[in-house]
Amino acid sequence: MLDNRVFVAADVADVSAARDLVAKVAPSVAGLKLGLEFFCAHGPAGIAAVMAGAGLPLFLDLKLHDIPNTVAGAVASLAPLAPAILTVHAAGGGAMLAAARAAAPSHTKVVAVTVLTSLDDGDLLSAGVGDGSAAQAVRLARLARDSGLDGIVCSPHEVAAIKAIWPEGLFVVPGVRPEGSAVGDQKRVMTPRAARDAGAGVLVIGRPITAAPDPAAAAAAIAASLA
């Protein structure tokens, strides 16, 4: 599933646009990420329509965060979509994380979001976290590991430190930008090759592919950079 590691973030405007994107990039990516925006607009039926015939695994990035019973119920309700990867927020606590893992099918990797790549140390300080993004990511990664999850979502800058304490974890890494790409709202970024070399297991790449004039060529170029 993860041979070339790139999951394209296909949170585009509608189902037909997402299906068209998948058809273009499928030869050069390892999987497809669909997130909260797409899910709220189109629901499970929209997810199923995009994945039908795609021939790619689904990364369902909903970042679930609620009381344990509610998250467990939500995870169970998503099982018919057969996600290969599903996200929850590590900040929901150990009981919530354990409940999510228990409710998920065995074939679904449940991974915990540590610190969003749109946040920097100043943002965390304003939220009461005084020791920065790296320390917070490690702290939440330990919680996810100890709660039985399969891995985490973190920026590429935290992968190496967390891999040292969790070598078998799955590291899903957004904030990946090819050299020269606009960073947009991402604050802690790295190139695909550098993120891969740091230990990323899944590279999540959106706008550098989806907003490119030729998404197929952009995906192929990123795949070539990892060869």
134's CB contacts (< 8 A; 6+ apart) are 157, 158, 161
What pLDDT shows up at residue 1?
A: 36
What pLDDT shows up at residue 2?
A: 39
Q: Is the distance from CB of 136 to CB of 155 less than 8 angstroms?
A: no
The pTM of the full predicted model, rounded to 2 decimals, is: 0.90
pLDDT, one tens digit per residue, over 156-174 is 888 999 999 999 999 999 8
User: Could you tell me how many residues make up the chain?
Assistant: 227
pLDDT, one tens digit per residue, over 15-52 is 999 999 999 999 999 999 999 999 999 999 999 999 99
Question: What CA–CA distance (Å, rounded) separates 15 from 184?
Answer: 24
Question: What CA–CA distance (Å, rounded) separates 23 from 175?
Answer: 24
Whether 163 is catalytic is no
What pLDDT shows up at residue 129?
A: 83
Question: What CA–CA distance (Å, rounded) separates 77 from 62?
Answer: 13
Domain boundaries of the chain, sorted by first residue? 6-225
Q: Is the distance from CB of 117 to CB of 175 less than 8 angstroms?
A: yes
- Give per-10-residue mean pLDDT for the chain (227 aa): 75 88 94 94 95 94 98 98 97 97 97 88 86 90 98 91 95 82 59 89 92 94 89
Question: Per CATH, the architecture of 6-225 is what?
Answer: Alpha-Beta Barrel (3.20)
Alpha-carbon distance values, 37 to 61, 72, 89, 90, 171 (Å): 10, 21, 17, 20, 23
> Of the listed 63, 109, 163, 187, which one is catalytic?
63
